[in-house]
Structure 1
Amino acid sequence: MTSPAALAKQHVEETQQVLREYILRTRPGGVKGYDHDALCDLLEVDDPSRVIFEQGRGRQAVVRVFPVNPLAKMRAITLEDLVMDENGCIRIGSYYDGEPLRMRVHDPETGNAQRIIIFGTTGAGKSRALQAFLAACKRNGIVVHLADLKGGQSVPEAKGNVATHVRTLNEAMGLLRAAVKKAEDRFNRYADMGRSGFLINNPDRLEYVVIDEANRLLEKGSPFRAEAARLIKELGRTGRSVGIGIVLAAQAGHLDELGGSDTLRAMLKEGEVILLRWSSQMMASLVGDGLLPSGEFLQPIPKILGRARRIQRWGTPVDRSAEKPNSQGMCYHLTSARPTSMARFFLIGSLAPHDGYDPEIRKLYGSNAPPGEALRLIFPPPKEGGADSDDDFEYDVDDEDDLERLPETPKTNTDRILDALADGPLSEQDLLATLDEDGGKEVKRGSIRTTISNLRREGKIAPKDASGLITLG
């Protein structure tokens, strides 16, 4: 049987043969930054996604020009990919040259669980990437406690396939408190046993707390920001050594948007950090946060692969109806041995939407019951006499209707504009009309224009063009 790694390599060799290859000798220390558009212009290539630049060790670099981007088509993920190997890794995709892209789920040498974060803008493929991880956990007997903070819509197929499944910010906090308590209990129990580390399935299972849309929990203005950052930090510090890991999937472009904790920053520098398509301002933030070495450069991941930049003569009709985002899943594994090599996740699920659960994703999970037992969510006791009690109360997941609900934080103008544009480009007048009907506070045209200008500088909204429409970057 042909292995998944061989299939990926065969795909590159047979369908994406290198058209041109240039081996470069660079100045000492390598190339610390370059203009990709200028390089494409020099090579007379009008589709930037066809040109791949990679800095090697020392003073060597390579530029490869392909007929089409070698990651434009990717095979479907297989059950064999999801099986954890002897190094505690699963195969999640392929680098542009066919080398398998792996994610470490367990470190057999230390026994540690991992700390994983997946960054990316809207539509970059975070949810599908997370589905692969969740399915792999179930297939390998790893217990998962999931908070899907998009109301359960981000990874809907996970419901019934994980031990714990929650959907609100309040429930996510109850889950984090329960996970930290479980980690502390294991820590104390292992100390009494004279054990210094975690042994998988002896007697405890490997477990993961997964927070999807973690930016909603940790961003400025969240009522749980400080406590959530502290709990995640504690899981990253104590939990991993007792077999309880943490996974965050977020749209944040800066760690300050994920709690701003120095300990959290250090935790992620040592974990598995995967960056999908990003905004134009994220590069400096990654360097500043220490997730990308100073001077390193990542080739941009375009929203649309294969789109050539050509000047059209006045009055020449241009048909762009077939153009649509097609780079979902393209990424960089920043903490791997190849942090600046472009890669892509295997195809996960069906290409076309379904009226209900995606059958291909459900097949990845399998029909067996998920391993482990649901956590009993922990919530703070109600206030009595103006002061909190020192006692800890525990509530079952099914008791959510009895819990005190906190009001949702009002959306900012930035969030409202980005939400309005998620369904497609709008004129300024149509955008104002949409904002008037979204239930938020009334906004003035001048305020909207200022916010749009700021979003353009951040790369979240595309520059002005002849159409006059406002569109996501």
Structure 2
Amino acid sequence: MSEITVTRRPHIADQVPALVSVITPPALGALTPLLEPGLAALTAAATVCGSAAFATHYIGKVPENALNATGISDVLTAQRSTLLGSSLLTTMAAAPGAFLGPAYADALLVGFLDPASVSGLVSAAWWSAWGALTYKLRPALAARKVRIPAPAQTVGPGTGALGPQGLFKVWADHISGENGAHPGQHLVGINVADEAWQGIVEAPQGKAVNVTAEAVGSAYRVPAACVTFTPGDHPGEQYVTVRRTPPAELDPTTMEGMWARMVRPKVMPGTHLKDAQVDPATGGWVAWVVADDDVPSVPVPDRKQLVGALRSSMTLVDYQPHASDPRRGKIRIMEKNPLEDGVPFPGPHVLEPSKGGYIAIGRGVSGRAARLQLFDPALGAQHIFIAGVTGSGKGGVVQIVALAAHLAGMAIINGDPKGSSNPDIEQMAAYSATGDATIKSLRVAYALLQYRIKESARLGRKNFKATPTCPWVMVIVDETHMITDASTEEGKEAVFILDKIAALGRNLGMTLLIVNQAVNADKLGGSTALRTNVIQGGAMVMLRTDSAQSNLITVDGFEGIDPGAIPAAWSAEDEPLVWSDDVPLNDPARTFGLGYVGSPGEPVQMMRTWILESAAPHIRHDAIIWPADWPAWEDRHDIAEIPAIGDTGYATSNNTSPSPADDEFMPPLSIQFTKTPAAPTADAAVLACFDDGSLEATKEDIRIITGLNDKTLSNTLTALVKNGAIERLKPGLYRKTP
């Protein structure tokens, strides 16, 4: 026979006598010696009389009518042994204490602390008896779980025990009969299944079916929610379905029930859950949010209200709209966010672009890689916008994207108005300008853009096709708001250049990576076109930032996301209502890199970027790519000094010799991680500095002798040290390896 576990709670009629039996012995034993002599003697006498009465009851000599007069005869009978034991312990403590005073009470109640004495033995025996009494009364003192045989299943009309004839009879007796709830509304067809049965209801000709779910539920003894109707071929016909068990949304312990009770009424009306199941990735639940039949699409939820309705926290709830079906979304409620511990950078292999130009920058809560698109083989370069306040992990995302571009054979032009926000990116870049000189990087990028525009027109190219000598180019602009101040001439120039690259760069193989704290137009020099071209024309990475940014992002999948609600730290312990210095302070873990990423064709979900402290170990200094298709690349430092707008605006070089032809091209996946080494001219020039017999040379001396710029010289020295051709004795001092 099967068993079930039930919780048994004591009735108050049993609990009160039990509590009195446990509390009275030590309480009266301690208090009686402290009373006035007369009152103490009266108390002692009362305990003696009580013991005598309970002893009489124990041996069954108390009259039945006397017990019935108390109203709790059953309790007195059930607890007769414990009541007698309690009264004897009370008499033993109170009676002598009334005459011998507090000394006796102390000896009895705390004498066990001196077990070698007579009083200690007596005290230990007394407390042992009191403990045995309390243990015996435990069922009457507190709730407890017990195993009992499972009750037999009762069979009723709604359980499915009835066959078709029985179902017809119940309908005729209680619904369609003369005395039924809906006379004349007959059940004319029926189909019985395991979980439910379905029938056809017909009304008399000229009348419509008006049978209610309440009437059917009452007749078959099931909740009204188990009864549903669908229209038939005409108003006088309807199909009725009766479930034998209530649907999951009626059970508050299920995810469907929680949704129906807490979310559906106010947060996402007209929706229900489907295929709810345990999510092994998070230890919680995952389900489809589906629009009801009379609702055209799933409403966009307010994430804060959704989290509040589910009684959870912002980092433990993720809602993901379906990329192509407006009637569906995915809800995930987590026990623990798998992103909290972070995911260390697995290695450069995760950054290798797919055939469609996608790279993985981190991991989503579902376990799926969080991807963005660097380029599209058919459409060209894809722009990227990264938004997040200081401390949100913005720099880490930029570093990962830049490393992916570098390893994929893209030429990087870097601009950093803050000045050395990320030195590793400077090491990957073909050209980099920081601080007040950042505008120079944009001028170089703009000159390259102009050249590629003319080359595209000359060659009649419709779509960009990258080659090893005409690579993809990534233009990185960190803290963009610092260089797009429209009140300055350089700010106007920066906005002009960025607008041009955003509008024209895709078809010319030039990716624009905008990195900023916000996406407001006023933070981008007032250019809404720049924001639209970058976000709509590529990928969006949204980290923690201002809540108002959510209204400015029109990319599918970001609806309802509040970037201001992303916490700065993972959920910590609740703050105590009353503070005490005894409460330890635990350091919260930061949520850097936590946010959302959206890219064409990719689902927008909560994600966290790889944890990569420094990209330096993965940089290939011997494979820094530059736009070799541009003949004026050697003049880039001069070009960087010429404003792109105004009377001295830059004009493209007269040297329009075409780059080596290679129109037949697939995205350079096969060569991206095995790059052709750079021309050895710089290496040879540096090594020549040691051929005159010099044992050592400073970096400054080498620069003067070779005429190399600082960037090229630094990269060359690093590569030669790595290859073992020279060795660095100390910073700035080198020696040729013997």
**Distance across 2 between alignment mates of 1:390 and 1:105:** 31
Alpha carbons 1:120, 1:251 under 8 Å: kept: yes
* 1:303 aligned partner, one-letter code: A
Deviations 1:19-46 (Å, cap 9, x if unpaired)? 234544445332323352x54454443x
Is 1:34 equivalent to 2:302 in the alignment? yes
- Give the drift of 1:330: 1.4
How far did 1:59 drift?
Answer: 3.3
Match for residue 383 of structure 2? 115
Q: For 2:462 and 2:288, how far apart are their aligned partners in 1? A: 48
Q: Is residue 378 of structure 1 aligned with residue 646 of structure 2?
A: no
Change (3 A) 1:179 1:305: same
**1:209 alignment partner, SS class:** strand
Letter in structure 1 aligned against 2:513:
V
AA aligned opposite 1:150: K
Mapped pair 1:17 → 2:282:
yes
- Residue identity in the other structure for 2:640: I
CA gap of 1:230–1:292, structure 2 versus 1, over 3 A, is: farther
Deviation at 1:295, TM superposition (A): 5.6
Counterpart check, 1:99 vs 2:99? no
Q: Deviations over 1:207-261 (max 9, x none)?
A: 1111111111124555522221111111122232122221111112413211222
For the residues of structure 1 that align with 2:708 and 2:415, how far apart are their CA atoms? 12
Across the aligned residues of Structure 1 and Structure 2, the Cα RMSD in angstroms comes to: 3.2
Call closer, same or farther: CA 1:336–1:312 in 2, change over 3 Å. farther
Secondary structure at the residue paired with 1:160?
A: helix
Partner Cα separation in structure 1 for residue 288 and residue 601 of structure 2: 20
Task: Specify the code of the residue in structure 2 equivalent to 1:161.
Answer: M
User: How far apart are the structure 2 equivalents of 1:103 and 1:335?
Assistant: 5
Q: Which has the larger radius of gyration?
A: 2
- The separation in 1 between residues aligned to 2:419 and 2:334, in whole angstroms, is 41
CA distance in 2 between partners of 1:294 and 1:48 (Å): 15
1:259 is matched with 525
How many aligned positions are there? 363
Does structure 2 retain, via aligned residues, the 8 Å contact 1:208–1:246?
yes
Partner Cα distance (1:346, 1:208) in 2: 21
* Displacement of 1:191: 2.0
Separation (CA, whole Å) in 1 of partners of 2:290 and 2:640: 58
Per-residue CA distance 1:88-122 (angstroms, 9 max, x = gap): 12111122101111121111013x12211111011
Say whether 1:179 aligns with 2:445. yes
> 1:286-435, aligned counterparts within 5 Å?
286-287=552-553, 290-291=554-555, 296-298=560-562, 300-315=565-580, 317-324=582-589, 326-337=590-601, 340-349=604-613, 358=614, 361-372=615-626, 375-376=636-637, 377-380=639-642
Q: What is the CA–CA distance in structure 1 between the aligned matches of 2:652 and 2:448, rounded to whole Å? A: 15
Is residue 2:487 matched to residue 1:216?
Answer: no
The answer to whether residue 353 in structure 2 is matched with residue 89 in structure 1 is no
Q: More deviation in 173-182 or 331-340?
A: 331-340
Q: What per-residue deviation string (whole Å, max 9, x for no partner) do you get for residues 58-80 of structure 1?
A: 33344322221122133222211
Q: Residue 311 and residue 220 in structure 1: after superposition, are their counterparts in 2 closer, same or farther (change >3 A)?
A: farther
> Aligned in 2, Cα 1:393/1:51: closer, same or farther, shift over 3 Å?
closer
Q: Are 1:277 and 2:544 an aligned pair?
A: yes
Shift of the 319–59 alpha-carbon distance from structure 1 to 2, 3 Å rule, reads: farther
Tell me the TM-score normalised to structure 1 length: 0.68
* CA shift in 2, pair 1:144/1:32, >3 Å: same
> Aligned partner of 1:328: which letter?
F
* CA spacing shift, 1:248–1:42, aligned 2, 3 Å: closer
Alignment counterpart, residue 151 of structure 1, candidates 405, 419, 422? 419
Query: d(CA) in 2 for partners of 1:91 and 1:97?
Result: 14
Shift of 1:345: 1.1
- Structure 1 gap ranges (5+): 1-11, 350-357, 382-386, 401-473
Which structure would you say has the larger RCO, counting Cα contacts within 8 Å and 6 or more residues apart?
Answer: 1
C-alpha separation in 1, matches of 2:648 and 2:406: 38
- Paired with 1:160 and 1:238, the residues of 2 have a C-alpha distance of 27
Distance in 2, Cα, partners of 1:294 & 1:248: 18
Distance 1:204 1:62 in 2: 42
1:247 to 513, 538, 541: 513
CA distance in 1, matches of 2:452, 2:342: 41
Pair 255,271 (structure 1): closer, same or farther in 2 beyond 3 Å:
farther
2:306 matched to 1:53?
Answer: no
Partner of 2:434: 167
Q: Supply the distance in 1 between the matched residues of 2:300 and 2:458 (Cα, whole angstroms).
A: 51
Higher helix share: 2
Aligned to 1:237: 503
Cα 1:194–1:116 change in 2 (3 A) is: same
Cα displacement (A) at 1:195: 2.3
Offset from partner CA, 1:289-319 (integer Å, 9 cap, x none): x456896444732111122545523547543
SS at match of 1:204: coil
| Mean CA deviation greater in 304-313 or 273-282 | 304-313
Deviations 1:256-278 (A, max 9, x none): 21122232133122221211111
Q: Residue type of the partner of 2:624?
A: P
What is the match of residue 141 of structure 1? 409
* TM score, norm. by length of structure 2: 0.45
1:72 is matched with which residue? Answer: 340
Corresponding residue for residue 8 of structure 1? none
Amino acid at match of 2:512: I
* Cα distance change, pair 341–148 in 1 and its aligned pair in 2 (3 A): same
Change (3 A) 1:315 1:267: same
Structure 2 SS opposite 1:187: helix
Report % sequence identity. Answer: 22
1:130 and 2:398 matched: yes
Task: Work out whether residues 381 and 511 of structure 2, in 8 Å CA contact, stay in contact via their aligned partners in 1.
Answer: yes
- Aligned residue type for 2:625: P
